[in-house]
């Protein structure tokens, strides 16, 4: 029997989910609609914390539940880059906010995909 390799299995399924746009939202007549919005994280640090996941996982679970109940679920994610935390981080790093924001949000999206969050990224 082969040794279980979780990274390999997780990457395989993430790729399938992304290619098939499994969590995309489409306008479907006859289906009830459900909108689930999480708070948008500030791009003010190198990565998301366990506290972020503590807040995002329950809404993800509920969004999945609503999909299984036949709802057309819109569960988007974005970034709150228009405030003092993002500016202060850029000042602390001595880098333009445009650069730190792009770097951090790319990593946040990567992290959310790693935990299998079912966001509609489009």
Q: Mind listing the pLDDT tens digit for each residue in 87-103?
A: 888 899 999 989 999 99
Contact between 79 and 108 under an 8 Å Cβ cutoff? The reply is: yes
pLDDT tens digits for range 35-91: 999 999 988 888 999 999 999 999 999 999 999 999 999 999 999 888 788 888 889
pTM for this model (two decimals): 0.86
What gap in Å lies between CA 94 and CA 103, rounded to an integer? 14
Per-residue confidence at 17, pLDDT binned at 50, 70, 90? very high
Domains of the chain: 34-115 (3.40.50.620)
- Total residue length of the chain: 122
């Amino acid at each position: 029997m082969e040794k279980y390799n979780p990274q390999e299995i997780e990457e395989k399924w993430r790729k399938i989910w992304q290619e098939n746009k499994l969590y995309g939202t489409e306008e479907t007549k006859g289906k009830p609609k459900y909108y689930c919005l999480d708070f948008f994280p500030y791009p003010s640090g190198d990565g998301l914390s366990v506290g972020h996941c503590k807040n995002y996982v329950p809404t993800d679970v509920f969004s999945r539940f609503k999909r299984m109940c036949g709802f057309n679920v819109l569960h988007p994610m974005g970034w709150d880059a228009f405030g003092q935390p993002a500016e202060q981080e850029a000042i602390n790093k001595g880098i333009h906010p445009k650069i730190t924001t792009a770097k951090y949000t790319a990593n946040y999206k990567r992290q959310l995909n790693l935990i299998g969050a079912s966001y509609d990224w489009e």
